[in-house]
Structure formats: structure tokens, C-alpha cells
């Protein structure tokens, strides 16, 4: 079961002026499953995105990158049940065919549509099922369907992932609302999963592009479930500009900091929800690396710990076999680490220092922390002022079962 993660209250998800969402069933993988989502954007909206760096990227990722270059995006279409990845030229053609069908519904150009897919890789996209479902999704459009959309984009997720915050810029109320999906095949190499965050703030295209990367770096790029970077990872940031304040065109402006904080808050909630809902997860783990030489080495060490199967299985068993953490630090690839300077903490308990077990540490202390549902691993390198945080989960029997049966 997800670790301390509740289904979001639909009433808590604030509509974003200029955004409407519609849901429909195409029966791509299961009959009756609501697996198609349309998102309509008001004229003048700006869109930015970051995508997977997996070289086997999915056809919709390629099409999205191409369409974003033209700007003036007016619609997004998302399907679950099929990733349209590893599908060659046919996959590209079917992604474009879907865009063309959406464009015809809205009276826009196909290049103004962004397509997204998630599900099984190496299977042809069933456009014969998707295209007939699009009119129903359009008829379902409403500003209040964030919760429905969060459910519709799920694959192996147990809990839908959505969040909203309200803030103020130049005396005007500003809303940020987002949804995401992700439970397995989660490891960032840009962002991770599918994530869509929208705001009614007014921001220039250049600043929105910058925000997309900065926000991803403090949220979706800080979570791992299993170390596998998906072929379809996409994070999309939308700004409709309907809040009524002057456009933010300078990253030194106070308004930029306010907006970045709100976007980051929503995105961090969504990213953490993925680790809490990791396939088969029973523990939510925060890995903090402190006093490193630079952020890169801190992140490198954090991920070595967070994606270690031996560390993750020990946490599932509540077994304080903490030498596995030391081993992960040691093989992380930071060649000049002085292990005598490193301190390792499990929760509030000092586990290791001066190259070995801390004199004050007892097995009973470690066992007590390991029984908790939420655990922090803190590593102090004592070689600088940099730091990094990564969120992950344990590996349980169910992780193997879920992925062994993924296509059944």
C-alpha cells in the first residue's frame, strides 16, 4: 500500500483559468477504463516541457519536442495502456494522426497539439480505439476535472497524484494545480513520469522554459523508485496568463521567486507521491547528503544509496544491515572521498563515523528506526557546503510480482 499517501480530495484541486480537462474511455487495455485525457488551453497560453533523455524515447516525446518549437500550443492528449515506444516510423505517424484528430475537433493546427502516451512498450498505438473516443473527451471538458484526469493517467499507480496551491503576485491571486502519474520505471534523467502543472500566472516564454528546468531539478529529478529511466518521461508546465498581473520576464524579479516557489511546492508533492506509491512500497525514504564539495557529487552519492537493491530490500525487511549504505557511498564514483571524514545517520541515530561503526551505535537503535514507515538517511561528507536530497522507497515482494505480471 502507498506510504502515508491519501487520495487527493477533489475539492482541494483548484481550477486554473484558461484550462479545461475532459476524460473518456477508449478501452485501450481494459474495457470501460477511462484512459483518454484531453486538456484544452486558452488562446495565449504558454507551454514549456522537459523530456526523457532515454535514447529509445517514445514517439510522442519526439512529436512533442517538434511541436513545442512552434509554440502556440492549444491542446494536450494523453492515453494510458500503450506507450507508443519502440514503434519506429509507424509510431510517429500514429502520434501525428492523433494530433490531427484532436486539431480537427478544436479547429486548430495539428502542430498546436501535444501527444503523450504511457503503458506497454513495443506495441502499436491503437488509434482505431483512440480516435473514436476523442469527441467524448471533448464533450467532457470542464475546468474542474483535475481529479478525474489524475485518475485517468494512472497505470500501475494505486493512488492518483494531484496537488494545488494558491499564492499572490502583485496583488493578484494566482493558482497552481498539477497532476502526475508514476509508480514504477522511475528514475530521472530530466524529469520522471508524466507530469502536468498549470498556473494562471503571466510569464514570458523564456522564463517559463527556465522554470520548467529549475522546477524539475528540485522535484521530479529528485525521486527514484527502481533506477529505470522511462522512454516516455515528460514534464509539462503551462501558464495561461489569466491571473491579471504584469508578465514576469526577469528571473531576478520578486514575482519570479514567488511563482517558482509555488510551482516547486506542487511539483515536490507530486514527486514525493511517486515514491510513496512506488510499486509495492512499504517505506518512504529520504536520502540527504550534506557538506559535499558540490551539488553533483551529493546527488551522485544520494542516488547510489537510493537505487541500491540491497539497501532497499534491507529497509523492506526492517533489517539494520547498514553496511549496505556504506558500500553504496563507496561505489558512488566520487574517487577522492575520505571515508574517515564521513558521518552516517539513520533518523536521529549516528551509525558510522571515522571510517567505521560509531561507538555509540547499537543494533537496537537501528532496528527501531527501520520499523518506521518514513525514514531519513543522512550522510555528512564534511568536505564543503553543498547538499542534495533524493526520495525513494523500499523493494518488496510485490515489486517483483507487479512487474512480472505487468502485461497480464
pLDDT of residue 228: 57
pTM: 0.91
Residue among 2, 8, 26, 50 at smallest CA distance from 189:
50
State the span(s) of the chain assigned CATH 3.60.70.12: 10-276
User: Active-site positions?
Assistant: 192
Instruction: Identify the CATH assignment for 284-404 out of 1.10.10.10, 3.10.20.340, 3.40.50.150, 3.40.50.80.
Output: 3.10.20.340
Q: Are 353 and 186 in contact (CB under 8 A)?
A: no
pLDDT one digit per residue (tens) for the chain, 408 residues: 688 888 889 989 999 999 999 999 999 988 989 999 999 999 999 999 998 877 788 999 999 999 999 999 999 999 999 999 999 999 999 999 999 999 999 999 999 999 999 988 899 999 999 999 999 999 999 999 999 999 999 987 888 999 999 999 999 999 999 999 876 555 555 444 789 999 999 999 999 999 999 999 999 888 876 555 567 778 999 999 999 999 999 999 999 999 999 999 999 999 999 888 877 789 999 999 999 999 999 999 999 999 899 999 999 999 998 999 999 999 999 999 999 999 999 999 999 999 999 999 999 999 999 999 999 999 999 999 999 999 998 888 877 776 676 565
CA distance 145 to 379: 42
Burial class of 332 by CB neighbour count within 10 A (0 to 12, 13 to 18, 19+): buried
What pLDDT does 190 receive? 44
In the chain, where does the domain assigned CATH 3.10.20.340 lie? 284-404
Q: How far apart are CA 178 and CA 162, in angstroms?
A: 6
Q: Would you identify the CATH topology of the domain 10-276?
A: 3.60.70
Give the residue from 164, 158, 125, 168 showing the smallest Cα distance to 36.
125
**Helices 59-70 and 88-106, packing angle to 10 deg:** 50
Amino acid at each position: 500500500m502507498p506510504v502515508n499517501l491519501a487520495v487527493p480530495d477533489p475539492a482541494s484541486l483548484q481550477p486554473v483559468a484558461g484550462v479545461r480537462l475532459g476524460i473518456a474511455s477508449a478501452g485501450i487495455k481494459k474495457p470501460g477504463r477511462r484512459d483518454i485525457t484531453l486538456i484544452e488551453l486558452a488562446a495565449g497560453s504558454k507551454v514549456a516541457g522537459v523530456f526523457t533523455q532515454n535514447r529509445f524515447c517514445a514517439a510522442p516525446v519526439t512529436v512533442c519536442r517538434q511541436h513545442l518549437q512552434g509554440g502556440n500550443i492549444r491542446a494536450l492528449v494523453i492515453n494510458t495502456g500503450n506507450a507508443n515506444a519502440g514503434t519506429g516510423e509507424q509510431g510517429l505517424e500514429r502520434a501525428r494522426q492523433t494530433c490531427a484528430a484532436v486539431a480537427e475537433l478544436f479547429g486548430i493546427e495539428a502542430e498546436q497539439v501535444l501527444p503523450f502516451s504511457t503503458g506497454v512498450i513495443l506495441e502499436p498505438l491503437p488509434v482505431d480505439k483512440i480516435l473514436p473516443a476523442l469527441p467524448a473527451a471533448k464533450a467532457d471538458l470542464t475546468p474542474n476535472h483535475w481529479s478525474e484526469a489524475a485518475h485517468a493517467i494512472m497505470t500501475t499507480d494505486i493512488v492518483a497524484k494531484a496537488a494545488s496551491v494558491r499564492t499572490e503576485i502583485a496583488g493578484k491571486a494566482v493558482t497552481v494545480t498539477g497532476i502526475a502519474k508514476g509508480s514504477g520505471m522511475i528514475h530521472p534523467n530530466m524529469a520522471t513520469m508524466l507530469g502536468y502543472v498549470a498556473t494562471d500566472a503571466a510569464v514570458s516564454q523564456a522564463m517559463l522554459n527556465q522554470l520548467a528546468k529549475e522546477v524539475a531539478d528540485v522535484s521530479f529529478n529528485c525521486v527514484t523508485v527502481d533506477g529505470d529511466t522511462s522512454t516516455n518521461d515528460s514534464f509539462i508546465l503551462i501558464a495561461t496568463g489569466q491571473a491579471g498581473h504584469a508578465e514576469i520576464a526577469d528571473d531576478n524579479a520578486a514575482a519570479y521567486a514567488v511563482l517558482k516557489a509555488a510551482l516547486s511546492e506542487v511539483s515536490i508533492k507530486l514527486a514525493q507521491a511517486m515514491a510513496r506509491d512506488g510499486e509495492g512500497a512499504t517505506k518512504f525514504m529520504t536520502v540527504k547528503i550534506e557538506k559535499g564539495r558540490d551539488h553533483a557529487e551529493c546527488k551522485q552519492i544520494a542516488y547510489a544509496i537510493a537505487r541500491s537493491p540491497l539497501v532497499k530490500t534491507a529497509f523492506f525487511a526492517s533489517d539494520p544491515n547498514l553496511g549496505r549504505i556504506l558500500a553504496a557511498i563507496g561505489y558512488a564514483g566520487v574517487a577522492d572521498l575520505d571515508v574517515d571524514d564521513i558521518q552516517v545517520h539513520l533518523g536521529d541515530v549516528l551509525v558510522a563515523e571515522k571510517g567505521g561503526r560509531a561507538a555509540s551505535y547499537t543494533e537496537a537503535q537501528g532496528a527501531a528506526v527501520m520499523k518506521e514507515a518514513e525514514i531519513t538517511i543522512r550522510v555528512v561528507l564534511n568536505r564543503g557546503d553543498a547538499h542534495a536530497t533524493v526520495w525513494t522507497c523500499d523493494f518488496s515482494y510485490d515489486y517483483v510480482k507487479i512487474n512480472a505480471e505487468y502485461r497480464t
